[in-house]
Amino acid sequence: MNKAQSSKPATRSAGGNTLAAKLGRLGLKTDADLILHLPLRYEDETRITSIRDAQPGVAAQFEVAVIDCEIAYRPRRQLLAKVSDDSGTLLLRFLNFYPNQQTVLQPGSRLRVFGEPRGGFLGEEIIHPRFHPVTAEEVLPDRLTPIYPTTAGLGQSTLRRLITRAFDRVQTSAALADTLPESLREKLGLQKFADAIQLLHHPTPDISLDQLETRGHPAWRRVAFDELLAQQLSLRRAYAARRQKGAPQLPGSAQLTTALLRELPFQLTGAQSRAWREIAADLAEPHPMQRLLQGDVGSGKTIVAALAMLQAVESGYQAALMAPTEILAEQHYRKLAQWLAPLGLDVVWLTGSLKKKVKLAAIEKVGAGETAIIVGTHALIEEGVEFARLGLAIVDEQHRFGVRQRLALKQKGEFAHQLTMSATPIPRTLAMSYYADLDVSVLDELPPGRTPITTKLVAEGRRDEVISRVHDACKSGRQAYWVCPLIEESEALQLKTAQETYERLVAELPNLKVGLVHGRLKSDEKAAVMAAFVNNEVQVLVATTVIEVGVDVPNASLMVIEHAERFGLAQLHQLRGRVGRGAAQSACILLYAQPLGQTARARLKVIYENTDGFEIAREDLRLRGPGEFVGSRQSGLPLLRYADLDDVLLVEQARAAADELLQGDPVVVERHLKRWLGSREELLKA
C-alpha cells in the first residue's frame, strides 16, 4: 500500500477483493491505522527445536530437509511431506494445498517449519505447518513473530509486510509521537506510545510470551489506557456539548410530588429516594438532564418516573413517557392514571393503534398544552405530534427502540430534560465506560416484602408435572405465565408454536381460564387479554416474549419458560422478574430440551444459581464479551479492541484524565481522538 492508496478510502463493497478492500474490512486505511493494528498473539521463531525434543501440542520451529513428498489419497487427496533433521523425522500433512507449495517441498529442500506436532498414524506429524525455504546459514529472527487479526484472503505475511512498511514510513512523523502530555504519562506510570507500539509489534524473545498474550505487559497497559481515554474523551465531549444547550428549569413546587408520596400505599426505598433526589436536582438546572435510571426488574422505576413527571408539571411544563411496546406503555398509562387521578391530573394515552379520531383528539390536546402528562409508544414522536411545552421526556427500555426512533426522539426532545430507564443492570466498569455520556442513577435495592423466587430446571419430559403445578397454583388463587419458545428464524413459526401451546393448555386445564398474547394481536385484543389477566379473569397467560419487559401483575406467582435454553441470560432474568412481585412464594420453572449445548448449559447454571441482576450481568459479560453485551447502543463509538474492562483502576484513570484534558487541553484531546477514532469512526458507523 503506497501513500496515495493509503489516504484513499477503501471500498467496502461486500465483494470487494482488492487489497484495499480487504484492508478496509479491517478498518485499515492509513499508516496510522496499520500501526494500531496489534497482534492477537505471537509465535516464537527465534529458536530451532530438534525433532527429538518435539512435544505434542506445543508449537515449535524445526529446521529440516525434505526427504520425500507425495500426493496421497487416504482417503482424501492430501499432500504428505516427510522431513528430517539430525535427530529424527516428521511428517507434514496438507489437506489443502497449492501447486507452488508442492514445488517448494521438493526432496532436498531446506525448510524452517513452524507448527504443533502431534502423534499421528504414521508417527509424529504436523498438520498445515507454516514453512518457508531457507539457505544453510540463514540467521534466525531476533523478534517474536506477530500474528495479526485478519480477514479472508489476506495472509499474515502480507499484513506483516504492510505494517513493517508503515513503520518505516512513519518513523519521524506524528503517527508515532505521544499524544499524552509528558506529565500525565509519568504520573500514571505509562510507557511511551512509540515504545509500547514497537514492542507489541516486534517483541524481543526475552519478553514473556505469557505476559504478552494475557495482555499483562506494560505495553498493553499503555495501549488499553489510550483506547479507554479515547472512548472517554468522545463520550464526555458529547456530554459536555449537550450540557451547553439550554433547557427550561423545572424546580417544581413539591406540591404534587408530596401529594403523590402521601397517597402511595408504600414508602420509597432508600435507593428510590436517592435516585429521585438526583433527578429532582437535574431538573432544576438550566441545561438538559442526561440521566439513565438503572434498576433491576421490580426495583420500582415507575414511581421515580412519576415523581419526575410531576415536578415538570408543577413547573408548568409537559412530561412524556414513552415505552417500546404497547403492553408496556399501556401498563405505565394505567399505573400513572391510577396514581394521578386523586391529584386531579389527566393522563393522555397516545399510541399508533388508536382510532383515528381518538388519536387526533389526543394529538390536539398535546399540541394545545391542555394536558401535562402523556404516555405512549413511539407514536409520541411521530410526525404531526407537537408538544406545546415539553419539559421532560422519559424513555423506558430505550435500547429496544430502533435507531430512527431514537433519532426522532432526540430531535423532539432536544431542549427537554431526558431520563432513560433500563432494567438491564450492567457492571460498574462497563457503565463507567460505555455510558460515560450519561449520568447514572442506580436502584440497587428491591422494595421490601418480596419473597425470593425459587428457580427450577426441569427437563421437557416432565412437562406433565409442570402442568399440574400450574393447576395447583391457580387453584389456590394465584396466576401463572407460560412463555413460549423464542424462534429466532421465524416469527410465523413462533406464532404457530404459541397457538399450539395455548390450545394444548386449554385442553389440559379445562377448569382454568387460559389466555394468549403475542406480538401479532391487534392492540385492543392484546389490551383485552392483559386486562383480563390483571383482573384474574384469566389465570394462565400463554405468551411469546412480548411480556418480556415491564409487565406487573403481583398476583402471578408462577412463571414457566419453555425451551429456556434458547433464551439469553438477560431475557431469562427479565422474564423471571415478572413473578415474585407479591407476598406469595413464587417460582420460575425453566423447561429445557436435551441435549444442552455448552453455552446453554452455562447460561442455565447462572440463572439457576443467581437472582441478583448485577451478578447475572457480570456473568453475562463474561460469557459474551462487552461488544455484544451493550449491543447496538454504541453506533459511532469506538469499540474497545484492546482494553479489558476488568481493570477498574485503568477505567477510572482514563475517566479522570479525560475530564482534565477536556477542561484544559483541547489540542491534546484532538490529537488523541484523531489517532484512536480517526478513520475507525466511519467503520463503526457502517
Residue pointed to by grid coordinates 464479551? 625
Q: Which does 115 bind (CB under 5 to 8 A by kind): Mg ion, ligand ADP, none?
A: none
**Using CA atoms, how far apart are residues 537 and 555, in angstroms rounded to an integer?**
12
CB of 265 to Mg ion, least distance (A): 18
CB within 8 Å of 267: residues ≥ 6 apart: none
Q: Which stretch binds Mg ion (CB under 5 A): 236-244, 451-459, 549-557, 600-608?
A: 549-557
**Cβ–Cβ under 8 Å, residues 597 and 565:** yes
CB of 144 to Mg ion, least distance (A): 52
Q: Which amino acid is at 132?
A: H
Ranked by CB distance to ligand ADP, the top (closest) residue is 300
**Using CA atoms, how far apart are residues 25 and 16, in angstroms rounded to an integer?**
9
Residue pointed to by grid coordinates 427479565? 574
16/554 with CB nearer ligand ADP: 554
418/422 with CB nearer Mg ion: 422
Instruction: Count Cα atoms within 13 angstroms, Cβ side, for 243.
Output: 12
203/550 with CB nearer Mg ion: 550
CB of 299 to ligand ADP, least distance (A): 4
Nine-digit cell at 117? 506436532
Collapse the DSSP code of 586 into the 3-class scheme (helix H, G, I; strand E, B; otherwise coil) and give the result. strand
299/351 with CB nearer ligand ADP: 299
Q: Which stretch binds Mg ion (CB under 5 A): 286-294, 356-364, 449-457, 545-553?
A: 545-553
**Using CA atoms, how far apart are residues 639 and 677, in angstroms rounded to an integer?**
10
Interacting residue ranges for ligand ADP, rule: CB under 6 A: 266-269, 272, 295, 297-303, 423, 447, 550, 552, 554, 581
CB of 256 to Mg ion, least distance (A): 21
Angle at 194 between CA 189 and CA 196, to 5 degrees: 55
550/580 with CB nearer Mg ion: 550
302/371 with CB nearer Mg ion: 302
Q: Please, which residues bridge with residue 392 across strands?
A: 319, 417
DSSP per residue, 468-502: HHHHHHHHTT-EEEEEPPP-TT-HHHHHHHHHHHH
Q: Which does 424 bind (CB under 5 to 8 A by kind): Mg ion, ligand ADP, none?
A: none
Sign of the Cα pseudo-torsion (267, 272, 273, 276, in order): negative
Q: Which does 295 bind (CB under 5 to 8 A by kind): Mg ion, ligand ADP, none?
A: ligand ADP
DSSP per residue, 95-136: SS--HHHHHHT-TT-EEEEEE--EEETTEEEEES-EEEE--T
303/466 with CB nearer ligand ADP: 303
CB of 582 to ligand ADP, least distance (A): 9
211/555 with CB nearer ligand ADP: 555
**Cβ–Cβ under 8 Å, residues 389 and 318:** yes
Nearest by Cα to 418 from 242, 594, 561 = 242
Q: Which stretch binds Mg ion (CB under 5 A): 305-313, 348-356, 484-492, 544-552?
A: 544-552
Task: Please work out the total of residues on this chain that contact Mg ion, with binding judged by CB under 5 A.
Answer: 1
334/675 with CB nearer ligand ADP: 334
Length of the chain: 686
552/665 with CB nearer ligand ADP: 552
Q: Which does 351 bind (CB under 5 to 8 A by kind): ligand ADP, Mg ion, none?
A: none
**Using CA atoms, how far apart are residues 355 and 95, in angstroms rounded to an integer?**
66
CB of 362 to ligand ADP, least distance (A): 24
Collapse the DSSP code of 356 into the 3-class scheme (helix H, G, I; strand E, B; otherwise coil) and give the result. helix
288/300 with CB nearer ligand ADP: 300
CB of 448 to ligand ADP, least distance (A): 6
Helices 598-609 and 569-576, axial angle in degrees (round to 10): 30
CB of 328 to Mg ion, least distance (A): 7
CB of 446 to ligand ADP, least distance (A): 8
- Rule CB under 5 A: is residue 550 a binding residue for Mg ion? yes
Sign of the Cα pseudo-torsion (420, 426, 428, 430, in order): negative
**Using CA atoms, how far apart are residues 134 and 137, in angstroms rounded to an integer?**
8
Collapse the DSSP code of 291 into the 3-class scheme (helix H, G, I; strand E, B; otherwise coil) and give the result. strand
CB within 8 Å of 667: residues ≥ 6 apart: none
129/295 with CB nearer ligand ADP: 295
Collapse the DSSP code of 580 into the 3-class scheme (helix H, G, I; strand E, B; otherwise coil) and give the result. coil
- Rule CB under 5 A: is residue 129 a binding residue for Mg ion? no
CB of 266 to ligand ADP, least distance (A): 3
**Using CA atoms, how far apart are residues 200 and 37, in angstroms rounded to an integer?**
10
CB of 443 to ligand ADP, least distance (A): 7
CB of 374 to ligand ADP, least distance (A): 18
> Which residues here bind Mg ion, judged by CB under 5 A?
550
